[in-house]
Structures are given as C-alpha cells and as structure tokens.
Structure 1
C-alpha cells in the first residue's frame, strides 16, 4: 500500500494488503511463483501472524514488507554474483539454470520467517514445517518432479540456514542468509517509536544500505551510519551472517560513520 492509502482495519484487509513485487527480468518461472504467492491467502495470513507476533515481542518488522525487501535483496545479490561468474549450487550440483537458482532464492526468502506465525523460538524449523506443505503446491504447474523436489529441497536448506548457526553450504542459502541481514536500514522497526533494545537502536543508526557491483570482489555493500551504534547491526548482524559462508570471498562490506556529535572512535568499519 502507498503511504497515502488508508490503514486497513479488518483482518481480510490487512491480509489482502500484502502484495509482493520483484523484478523478474523475463524469468517466467519466477513470475509464475510470485503470481501464485500473491494469490495465496493462507501464506499472506502467515505473514500477518508473524508480524503480529513480532509486535507482541517488541521486535523489528517481520511483516510482508520485510519479506519483499529480503526477496528483492536476494535477487539483487544473486544477479551481481552470477554476472561475475559465481556459479549457483543448483547449476553446479544439479545441472539446472541460473533462472532456477533465482526461484530457489525467492522461494526461500518468501518462506524464511513464516514460522514466526507460530513462535519466535525455533521459528526457522516451524518455517520448514509450513514450507513442506505449501511450496510444492505453489510450484505445481511450474516444475515437475524430480526438478520440483530439488527446488523445494534447496529452498528448504536456505530457509533453515538463515538461523544463527545455520552454516549454509550452498550459494543460494548464503544469499538468503545475507539478504535477511541486509534489511537493516533505519526504520526496519517501521514503527513510530524506537524500541528499547540494542537491535532497534542499532538499526535506527543505519541511514542507508547500497548494494552495487564490486571491483576486487563481485559485490560491494556500502552502509552509511548516523552514529556508532550501527556497528552492532553491521558486525553482529551482517558480519555473523556473512562470515564462513561461500559468499564471504565474493562480498566486501564498507560501513561509514558520519557523526559530528560523537567522539570519532573510527570513521570506517570493514568486513
């Protein structure tokens, strides 16, 4: 919904407000998946329930807005990486295509935190539980087995790998893990008040995140911070998600602090 639209009031209105948009760039399989997702009221209801539980716990946003952002970031990362010769795991190991890798990444991003609709604790495993039933149905008519089973398995690996100690060993899983961490910019809380926790304070310090082609590495992530509180989000959030993954050698992170009111402990933080 645009900022000028009235805030939906009923449950049906809130659920139906969710509408995912991604740049498919001619990927018909991805387009069909997104169309199926946008037509699925049950999945959108899970996103709504996840958002409500996040609000109950005074956490950052876990609504469909977060889902859309993570999906778009994942596809942006994937296309920059593939353009520089990084081979997706489904291509290397299953003989599929880069377009299929985009479907895996999008599917995992769309489902990565639906388990929050059940509980925060172990929500990644609950996400797998819900995905196992729903994703094959959404992919019906797009893929046939055994390819459909492979897409579901690889997406499920990416989903479980976004948890704290997920240790992804695929390119696609690593992309989703990092994409989730990159929804960190100011306003991730997307609320009127600053929540009283380090995650909210740190996120509020992140002014902008830009993902661009790198020079020495395939991807360069530039982060502007208004104060040094943002370092927690960059290092503990993004850094923890990036280190030790197959993406670590392909991504550089530069975080700059522009804070005239602070004592200058450091101006630039790199991963």
Structure 2
C-alpha cells in the first residue's frame, strides 16, 4: 500500500535536498526510488502507485532523466522531482474539487473524482520520462514511452474501455506540460502548474551553483518556500516566499505562463512576497559578454 504519512503539511510544498539523490549504480539507484503521496482511501490511486513503484522500467527512466539533467547542468529531475510534482498535483486537484470545479473524468466520461486523481498522478509521474532520451522535445518522447507503460500500470485498477480512457487522459496531461501545451482538461492544467511549482528552497538553483548566472538561475534561487491552500476569492491560493525580488521573474515568466490559457486560469491566485528587511545576495557581479 502507498504510504499515507507526509512529513509536512499538505499546504507546504516538500523540498528535499536541492541536488537530488546521490548518484549510484543503476540497480542501487532505482531500488531507492519509491514515490509516496496521501491517497485518502482512493484504492485505484493506491493500486496505480504500487504498480509504478514496482515497475523497474519506469524507475530506470527516472534514473536516466536525472543523468541527462546532470549532463546539462539542470536542476533535479530525478524521482524526487516526480514525487514532489505528484504531491503538488494532488493538492491542487483536491482544492479545486472542494471548490466545486468539475474534472474532465466526471464532466466528459461520467466517472469519479477519484479517477481524476489517478490521471494527475499518472501525468505527474510520467511527464518527464522522455528526458531519459533527450531534453529537446522530451514531452513528445514521453508520450510514446508512457503509452507503452500505461497499459500494464493501469491493468490492476481498470478494465477496458476505461483503461484506455485513463491512458489517453494521462497522455494529454503529459503533452500539455510543454511550454505551449494548451491542455484542454482540468487534470492537464493541474499537472502543468504542479510541474512549475517544484521551486521551493533552491530546488531550481543548481545552474547558479555551477556558475550559470542569468535571470533564470538568479530568479530560481530567490524562491524559498511555496505554500498551497484554499483561496478566499478563488479556489486555490499559492503563496511564494522570496529571499530576493529577482524571484518575481520566476513567478511571472514561468508560473504565470503555465497557468494562462488553462482550465486553472481564473481559479488560482498567486501571491509572491519578499520576507525580511534585507534581500539575500545572489549575484557576485555581472559582465555582459
């Protein structure tokens, strides 16, 4: 069964070691990869997560995704990233459902909210598998890798034709997370935004540590904490605590772009604040070359 325990409140986005897991041989590395999330009694979600955790190919894709991320000097894209996106996505979806927003699994297929949870879980856990091949167009590569895996990953939870419906909706969330993905469904919008919210406590600061000083790396390092809660005027409130005002670029360029034009547009309020009287120094100097 999936672990129901969470080390922090659901409002606070988890932020483990920003560097990701220590590199080990493939067999050892994938043995440690095990994603967890609060399933709240959703048996189909539990069954799906158990299938993912027991699938060596999926965990090997996560391993290779991180290898390529390190080759490119990128932030953590290991199974830790997948787990964080999974937990954020479920948090977002449940807040939207609580506010009465109907997911595609209910509106279009007459299924249940709990099936929508499986869809966002699938998208969260498989959205970057294509990066095991190459970063460029990785969203498209993720489609054909995930397509082959989903039949077996969903087999214990769903029969046909529902299994194919779930697989198709999961694939929609995967392609929808690219920069101009334009997801049609609430579930697709949730995965798209959840991916962008893995930014707390230096999760995206690795390029800066490697000496790549630019607005993207500087703004990413300025994010300290992300909290997700029910909003007062909108379904979801996202609060981003910054240590430097440069982080506003990260919020506006990355997060706002991910929200605009999706079914989450108009249902999420984003508030970014710089805490403290002084700002953290992130840049030693800059020379235009």
TM-score, with normalisation over the residues of structure 2?
0.86
| Structure 1 stretches lacking a partner, 5+ long | 263-271
2:158 paired with 1:143: yes
Matches within 5 A, 1:28-47: 28-47=43-62
| Structure 2 stretches lacking a partner, 5+ long | 1-15, 280-289
Question: RMSD of the TM alignment (CA)?
Answer: 1.8
- The structural deviation recorded for 1:68 is 0.2
TM-score, with normalisation over the residues of structure 1?
0.91
Structure with more relative contact order (C-alpha pairs < 8 Å, separation 6 or more): 2
Question: SS in structure 1 opposite 2:94?
Answer: helix
> Distance between the aligned counterparts of 2:99 and 2:125, measured in 1?
25
2:112 paired with 1:110: no
What is the aligned counterpart of 1:87 among 97, 102, 107? 102
2:25 paired with 1:25: no
What is the aligned counterpart of 1:236 among 216, 237, 253? 253
> For the Cα contact (< 8 Å) 1:194–1:201, is it kept in 2?
no
| Deviant stretches of 4+, over 6 Å | none
> For the Cα contact (< 8 Å) 2:208–2:221, is it kept in 1?
no
Change in Cα spacing, 1:194 to 1:8, as seen in structure 2 (3 Å) is: closer
- The structural deviation recorded for 1:46 is 0.4
2:220 paired with 1:203: yes
Question: SS in structure 2 opposite 1:248?
Answer: coil
> For the Cα contact (< 8 Å) 2:205–2:217, is it kept in 1?
no
Matches within 5 A, 1:222-233: 222-233=239-250
Matches within 5 A, 1:127-138: 127-138=142-153
> For the Cα contact (< 8 Å) 2:139–2:178, is it kept in 1?
yes
> Distance between the aligned counterparts of 2:257 and 2:102, measured in 1?
23
2:188 paired with 1:158: no
Question: SS in structure 1 opposite 2:224?
Answer: strand
> Distance between the aligned counterparts of 1:218 and 1:182, measured in 2?
17
> For the Cα contact (< 8 Å) 1:220–1:251, is it kept in 2?
yes
For these two proteins, the number of residue pairs brought into alignment is 259
> For the Cα contact (< 8 Å) 1:30–1:103, is it kept in 2?
yes
2:194 paired with 1:179: yes
What is the aligned counterpart of 1:252 among 269, 278, 287? 269
- The structural deviation recorded for 1:193 is 6.6
Change in Cα spacing, 1:199 to 1:192, as seen in structure 2 (3 Å) is: closer
Matches within 5 A, 1:5-20: 7=22, 9-20=24-35
